[in-house]
Structure formats: C-alpha cells, structure tokens
Copies of this chain bind each other. A is one copy, B any other.
Amino acid sequence: MSHRGPAPDMATSVEAEDPRVTRTRHAVREAVRSLVQRAGFEGVSHQQVAAEAGVGRATVYRHWPTRTDLLLHALAEVEVPRHWQSSGDLATDLAKELQRLQRTLSSSPLVPELVALIGRAEWDAELRGTKAELLAAGTAGLRRALEAAIEREELPADHDLDTTIARLAGPLFYRRVLAHAPLEDAFVTKIITAYVNEVSASG
C-alpha cells in the first residue's frame, strides 16, 4: 500500500534504509497527521510540518516536494484485514462489518483527515487514487461478507457488489459526513434488516 521507498519493518530488507531517513519519515508522518486533525489540509505547510516534527525545513522539501506528497505519505498506509472468516450467515457478517464501520466513523481521529481528502481529491488526481484505496480498504470487509454469501448461494451470482456496498455504507457516510448526525445502533440495525429482508424476499 505504501507508495514510495523500500518496505518498512522488515528485518532483512533488500535495501536497508538509513536510520536517519527512517527517523525523519516517521516524525514527519506523525506531524502531518497531527496538523491535519487540528487545522485541516490548509494547516499543512512544509514550514509547519518541519516545526511540528522537529526537522529541518529543507529536509521536508527534499523528501516531499509538494503538499500532496506530504499528505500521501501520511495517509497512504492502511491496514487491510488479513484474515477474514465468514460466520456462515449473511446477516451476522453484515452486522459485524457495518458496526465496525460505524465505530470507525464515530470515533476514529482520522475521519477529519479522510473528509479533507475527499474534498481535495476532487482536483488532485494523485490523491484520488489514494482515496479509492482507502475506500476499498474500509469496505473490504463488507465485500468479503457479500462474496461469501454468493459462494454459499445465499445471494445470486450476478449480485452487484458495488451497488450493494453503496446502499449499505452510503447511509452511514451520509449521516456522519454530510448530516453530522450521530450514528446510533438503531440506524445501523435498520439498514441491515431492511437489506436482509429484501434479499430473503426476492431469493
């Protein structure tokens, strides 16, 4: 998922990274995240980042010439769930995944970052790619749950996953990002039961 540089955290990396570079990269990443959360993308300047990270200004320019580079470096790493196990029941799987999404959207300090990313991605093609990656990672669980249901023939093979994901996750994003309303459990439950009923009715 990382865009630049050699793979981190590997004991025997093919090409070891200079410890000084490692330190810089880490400090800058934390600084950018902190700044974005406090003041939005517009609060992120090379100058601010350098001060916040305790790093020379020239150093920041050397590694990340543009503002987009800085943002990508701070945001482009996401954990994709490695192992995923279906419970064998679509409703259960969906409930689990949507509740995970609900928790993330409700509490994660990165949400403001992501919203800012969405806004800026409208003009920045490079960020648009990152946005797509993050979205795919965030909804990967939902996708797996639906794919498992298709394999069990609980859903028809031609079921449109993207549409369904939009219908399940869309309302959550709407409430959190657009309406700024709290994401109650009842809301999530309603979405799931409505969808499951619809599936069982048609199938």
Chain A's interface size range is 35 or more
Q: Is the CB of B174 within 8 A of A187?
A: no
Q: Is the CB of B201 within 8 A of A197?
A: yes
> In the complex, which of the residues A131, A167, A172 has the most CB atoms of chain B within 10 Å of its own CB atom?
A167
Residue A11 at the B interface, CB < 8 A?
no
| A37-48 to B contact mask, C-beta < 8 Å, 1/0 | 001111000000
| A177-196 to B contact mask, C-beta < 8 Å, 1/0 | 11111000001001100100
Q: Of B167, B179, B198, which is within 8 A of A171 by CB?
A: B167
| A92-130 to B contact mask, C-beta < 8 Å, 1/0 | 000000000000000000001001111110111000100
Q: Which residues of A contact B (CB under 8 A)?
A: 39-42, 112, 115-120, 122-124, 128, 131-132, 135, 162-163, 166-167, 169-175, 177-181, 187, 190-191, 194, 197-198, 201
**Besides A41-B42, A166-B181, 20 new A-B residue pairs in contact (Cβ under 8 A), listed by A number:** A39-B123, A40-B119, A112-B123, A115-B118, A115-B119, A117-B119, A118-B177, A132-B179, A132-B180, A135-B178, A166-B179, A167-B191, A170-B171, A170-B172, A170-B173, A171-B171, A194-B194, A194-B198, A197-B198, A201-B201
